[in-house]
């Protein structure tokens, strides 16, 4: 598919991926980044790419195979916290279903085409990385947290399933908590993601500077 980018480049702003609930603080951060991109000359529309939830579910099915499950005894070789999270992940994913895995690969191919067509009109997608509020350090292994994390990371999981480039960057702090967004581009167009991220950073500044010493 040939990319013929119109000017200005259009951005699809997704404040609440798949309509499954996103913290107001997170949505405000996404909209802040949208305003910044509009100020930088991008055309920003609040519109959602196709089937985000289906893409995220396909990713889980592709990971939850009998072959992957057969390697679970090897978790004992990993750091304890990593093994515990992966165990919780597979518990949340449920029993493997070979038919569902095959269907997931077919779903992925269909969604790749649907997203490619969508990104002809809106090459960039601006969305949350995680839809919930940042949780307290050390609570990521609490009971039920793995399921919550999978749900909250649905946009990032969908993007990984489709093999799309993305840049995650901070856009502010509200109520003492960081706000972060991801800029997602079409396949093989990392340059578009980096250009948009640079435009945001140029206007908001480097919110988390790294001391080079």
**Higher local confidence (pLDDT), 185 or 61:** 185
CA-CA distances (angstroms) from residue 185 to 93, 122, 136, 164, 213?
28, 9, 31, 6, 33
pLDDT score for 41? 97
Spatial distance between the Cα atoms of 9 and 112, rounded to a whole number of angstroms: 21
Average pLDDT, the chain: 89
**Higher local confidence (pLDDT), 71 or 212:** 71
pLDDT score for 1? 47
Domain boundaries, the chain: 10-204
pLDDT score for 74? 77
Determine which of 22-31, 41-50, 62-71 has the lowest per-residue pLDDT on average. 62-71
For residue 15, what are its two tokens?
């404040």
Highest mean pLDDT among 19-33, 141-155, 166-180: 19-33
Highest mean pLDDT among 72-76, 112-116, 172-176: 112-116
CATH architecture of 10-204: Alpha-Beta Complex (3.90)
Averaged over 2-15, what is the pLDDT? Answer: 83
pLDDT score for 181? 97
Decide if pLDDT at 120 tops 60: yes
pTM of the full structure: 0.87
Q: What percent of the chain has pLDDT over 90?
A: 59
Spatial distance between the Cα atoms of 169 and 90, rounded to a whole number of angstroms: 29
Q: Which value, in Å, is the radius of gyration of the alpha carbons in the chain?
A: 18
Helix (H, G, I), strand (E, B), or coil: what is residue 183? Answer: strand
Spatial distance between the Cα atoms of 162 and 109, rounded to a whole number of angstroms: 8
Q: 170 - beta bridge partners?
A: 180
Q: How many helices (H) and strands (E) does the chain have?
A: 8, 5
For residue 212, what are its two tokens?
């080079």
Contacts of 19 (CB under 8 A, 6+ apart): none
Contact 10, 185 (CB under 8 A): no
Decide if pLDDT at 3 tops 60: no
Helix (H, G, I), strand (E, B), or coil: what is residue 141? Answer: coil
pLDDT score for 126? 98
């Amino acid at each position: 598919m040939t990319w013929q980018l119109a000017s200005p480049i259009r951005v699809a702003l997704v404040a609440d991926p798949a309509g499954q609930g996103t913290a107001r603080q997170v949505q405000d951060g996404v909209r802040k980044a949208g305003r910044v991109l509009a100020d930088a000359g991008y055309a920003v529309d609040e519109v959602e790419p196709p089937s985000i939830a289906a893409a995220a579910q396909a990713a889980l099915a592709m990971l939850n195979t009998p072959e992957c499950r057969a390697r679970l005894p090897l978790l004992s070789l990993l750091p304890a916290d990593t093994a515990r999270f992966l165990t919780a992940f597979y518990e949340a994913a449920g029993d493997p279903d070979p038919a569902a895995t095959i269907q997931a690969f077919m779903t992925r191919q269909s969604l790749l085409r649907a997203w490619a067509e969508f990104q002809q009109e809106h090459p960039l997608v601006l969305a949350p990385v995680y839809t919930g509020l940042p949780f307290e350090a050390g609570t990521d292994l609490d009971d039920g947290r793995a399921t919550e994390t999978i749900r909250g990371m649905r946009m990032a999981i969908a993007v990984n399933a489709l093999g799309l480039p993305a840049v995650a960057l901070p856009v502010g702090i509200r109520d003492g908590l960081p706000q972060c967004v991801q800029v997602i581009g079409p396949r093989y167009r990392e340059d578009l993601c980096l250009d948009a991220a640079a435009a945001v950073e140029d206007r908001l500044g480097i919110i988390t500077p790294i001391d080079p010493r």
